[in-house]
Amino acid sequence: MVENLEEKIFALATGRRKEATARVKVSLPGRGKIIINGRRLEEYFPVITHQVQVKKPLAATELLEKVDIKANVKGGGISGQAGAVSLGIARALIELNPQLRIPLRKEDLLTRDPRAKERKKYGRRGARRRFQWTKR
C-alpha cells in the first residue's frame, strides 16, 4: 500500500518473528531516523546486534540515511521483535521500489523465520524434557 501525501511517499508493512509482530511505516525522503514504539532505535534495542539486524535491510539497499522509519512492535522478546522489525522494513522497501527485491533476497531478508517455540506435551516437564527417573 503506497500512498502519496504532499510529495512524501510512504509504505506500510508487517513483519513477524516468533511471537512478535511489527507494523512498520517507511517514509521517503527522510533523514535516517528510526523510531520504535515512540523511542529511538538505540534506546529500544540497547544491544548492538539487534540494532545491526534492524538496519540490515537499509544497509543492503544503501538507504540508511535516505528514509525515516516508524515501527510499532508487540509481543515476544527483544530478539523476536528485532527480527520482526527487520522483516517489516524489508517488505515496506519492496512496496516503495520493487527493484530492491534482488539485493534484499540476496541477504535473505525477505524470508520469514518459521521457527517457533514447541508446545509442551503431557506427561513431560517441557516440550521434550522428561521427568527424572529414580530406581528406588
pLDDT of res. 28 = 85
> Nearest-CA neighbor of 55 among 77, 27, 83, 28?
83
Q: What are phi and psi of 16, to 5 degrees?
A: -135, 150
Quick one: pLDDT at residue 7?
56
Q: What digits encode the pLDDT tens for the residues 45-72?
A: 999 999 999 999 999 999 888 999 999 9
Instruction: Report all structural domains of the chain as residue ranges with CATH numbers, in order of start.
Output: 2-106 (3.30.230.10)
pLDDT in the model for residue 5: 40
pLDDT band at 80 (very low <50, low <70, confident <90, very high): very high
Strands 68-74 and 39-40: unpaired
pLDDT value at position 8?
65
pLDDT in tens, 22-42: 999 999 888 989 999 999 999
